Amino acid sequence: MATPPKRLSSRDKVRTHRERMRARGLRPLQIWVPETRTAAFREAAHRQSLAVARSSQAGEDQAFIDAITATDEA
């Protein structure tokens, strides 16, 4: 009767995955981004968007965004 294969712990699975990725020439990178699901984020985004819209340069800013935005209108 064959013995069942040894199950790897989560730590071992992560270690072997990282080893494979490094062998492919990759490296890990961790980034932190704002939590967009909070009321505080929504309020700050709204406040900032109003400030930009009310700016004396709003027209120039929007023209710049429009100029660099790629569209599929071909």
What digits encode the pLDDT tens for the residues 7-65? 989 999 999 999 999 999 999 999 999 999 999 999 999 999 999 999 999 999 899 99
More confident residue, 68 or 3: 68
Task: Give the model's confidence band at 71: pLDDT under 50 very low, under 70 low, under 90 confident, else very high.
Answer: confident
Domain count, the chain: 1
Q: Which residue has the higher pLDDT, 67 or 73?
A: 67
Q: Please state, in angstroms and rounded to a whole number, the distance separating the CA atoms of residues 69 and 63.
A: 10
Per the CB < 8 A criterion, the answer to whether 18 and 28 are in contact is yes
Q: Answer whether residue 63 is part of any domain.
A: yes
Contact status, residue 24 vs residue 18, Cβ threshold 8 Å: no
Across 23-39, b (16+ Cβ under 10 Å) vs e yields: eeeeeeeeeeeeeeeee
Report d(CA 24, CA 16) in Å as an integer. Answer: 13
Residue-number span of the structural domain to which 65 is assigned: 36-69
Q: Is residue 53 part of a domain?
A: yes
In a domain, 17, yes or no: no
56 is a domain residue? yes
20's enclosing H/E stretch is helix 10-23
Indicate whether 22 belongs to any domain. Answer: no
**Residue 12 is assigned to a structural domain of this protein:** no
Q: Is residue 11 part of a domain?
A: no
